[in-house]
Amino acid sequence: MMPEATTTLSPCSAKPGTGALTDAFCRRISYLRVSVTDRCDFRCTYCMAERVEFLPRKDLLTLEELDRLCSAFVGLGVTKLRITGGEPLVRKGILGFFRAMSRHLASGALRELTLTTNGSQLARHAEELAACGVRRVNVSLDTLDPGRFARLTRRGRLETVLDGIAAARAAGLRVKINAVALRGHTEDELFPLVDWCAAEGHDLTFIEVMPLGETSIEERLDQYLPLSDLRARLAGRFTLQPLAGTTGGPARYLQLAETGQRIGFITPLSHNFCESCNRVRLGCTGTLHTCLGQEGATDLRAPLRGCPQQAELEEAIRAAIARKPRGHDFDYSRAAPGGAVRRAMNRTGG
Ligand code: SAM
Ligand code: SF4
């Protein structure tokens, strides 16, 4: 079994409102994930419908608004910023935003500026991302088979993504491959992905498919492949050594004794990681989601657009963090996925 979080959350006696960002359960919030667009050049079957309706452009935060909001979070103690989407690198002018955020790295306020990408635009942007202080990049890649890749992403080309990954490495970026575990698919991909990542020196993490967005319940149950299944398959070929330590997120790590490789497992559905959750997500319209698995959210666009005062914006952020729920209710153990959330991953940011 993977190590489970054991702490039970209890309400915090400290008063919110001053100092570092802390929620009502004393969890310190230091990690912000920002979706900079809901648009994407792929239509991955587990993420988006083929004919997806994107939001009107006026609803998206401008890059200047994103700068102001992210900078406010950094001012309140956020030290890690992950840019995601949709596909972040399809947003026009996004490299200017990375350049702007790099000032917080230079000042020492931000420890890490990073992104999650499908890799389609990485070949042309990798060097500039490195120049902006990005050191690591997560690239989503579920298969190394070109035909399967095209079917799964509905419009992606594997070769383009592999070129992007090579460019990232050439620019000095560390690459972590994220693969969503899908029944009837990842069983075949497991060893090719593990071997390829070992040969290329990439980290690798598997993610359980989550019940987000409009995908039908039947489809979700068909797609769901528990990571315990992948782990058992790995154990058939490798000696697995659990690694201690947590990033405050849902990932747990194993080392393959034979290769020294570290494999991550993100299991929001089978393991409770909420006790150590240090993150919140800002959607592309300025909605703050303090829990990926709950519908509750706070609109920060209105205070952002309505008031030029930084203090009021900070107050709105603190109030939203104070309402961060204790945890999510995802559950596949019943006949239908419990705790499903209608909002799609591309708007909230994965
Ligand atoms: N477009 C970028 C990408 O694919 O890396 C960034 C956004 S994408 C929404 C972020 C991550 O969410 C990807 O690794 C993707 O595989 C994952 N993802 C999307 N839908 C998911 C779902 N329903 N369950 C689990 N992971 C999902
Ligand atoms: Fe686009 Fe990423 Fe969603 Fe795939 S997972 S459709 S690449 S946003």
- Tell me the pLDDT tens digit for each residue of 303-312: 999 877 889 9
DSSP 47-113: T--SSPPPPPGGGSPPHHHHHHHHHHHHHTT--EEEEESS-GGGSTTHHHHHHHHHHHHHHTS-SEE
Predicted local confidence at residue 216, as pLDDT: 55
Report CA(309)–ligand 2 centroid distance (Å). Answer: 35
Delimit the domains of the chain by residue range. 31-48+55-348
Q: With 80 as the cut, is the pLDDT of residue 332 above it?
A: no
The two three-digit tokens of residue 154, written as one number: 């509905």
**In the chain, pLDDT over 70 holds for what percent of residues?**
81
Q: Which CATH architecture has domain 31-48+55-348?
A: Alpha-Beta Barrel (3.20)
How many other CB atoms are there within 10 angstroms of residue 297's CB atom? 18
Alpha helices in the chain (DSSP H): 63-75, 94-107, 122-131, 146-153, 158-170, 186-200, 217-223, 227-237, 301-306, 310-322, 345-348
- Which ligand 1 atom sits nearest the alpha carbon of residue 35? 7
Report CA(206)–ligand 1 centroid distance (Å). Answer: 11
Bridge partners of 83? Answer: 34, 115
**C-alpha closest to that of 31 among 88, 85, 70:** 70
- HSE-CB of 237 using CA atoms within 13 angstroms: 10
Predicted local confidence at residue 215, as pLDDT: 54
Predicted local confidence at residue 24, as pLDDT: 86
Identify the residue with better confidence: 345 or 152.
152
- Which ligand 2 atom sits nearest the alpha carbon of residue 156? 7
Residue labelled with tokens 């915090």: 12
Range with lowest mean pLDDT among 53-57, 189-193, 221-225:
221-225
Residue labelled with tokens 């570290």: 262
Report CA(86)–ligand 2 centroid distance (Å). Answer: 6
- pLDDT tens figures, 259-283: 999 999 987 655 456 777 889 999 9
Q: Mean pLDDT score of the chain, rounded to an integer? A: 87
348 vs 14: CA distance, rounded Å: 29
DSSP 289: E
